[in-house]
Amino acid sequence: MPIREELQRMELNMLAMYCQRVAETHTGNSVEASRARQIRHEWALFISPIGPDLRTQEEIEAEGEQLRQRMVNFLSAVESPPLARRSSAGSN
């Protein structure tokens, strides 16, 4: 898993992918898997507005930044992330 500084530079889409991966592979830790699914769902709702959006661009950007920070905080605290195992396995 990238370190916190790397996570902070990532786009929402990449962070959502990491959350999806945690949700799929951390079934032994239902708290982490559940939180990963919840944050990923928030992302899906954020990128798929239903009906006319009455928010300003500044409000949308602020909401996206808040979601990104929640994702970064969650992912940086996840123990033994599955993507780190896969990427480090290829470097041996």
Output the pLDDT for position 1.
Answer: 58
Residue corresponding to tokens 């009455």: 54
More reliable by pLDDT, 74 or 89: 74
pTM for this predicted structure: 0.76
Give tens-digit pLDDT for 8-28: 999 999 999 999 999 988 777
Q: Please write the tens of the pLDDT for every residue from 26-84.
A: 777 788 889 999 999 999 999 887 766 677 888 889 999 999 999 999 999 886 544 44
Does 86 have pLDDT greater than 50? no
The number of folded domains in the chain is: 1
Domain interval for residue 19: 4-89
Q: How far apart are CA 87 and CA 75, in angstroms?
A: 16
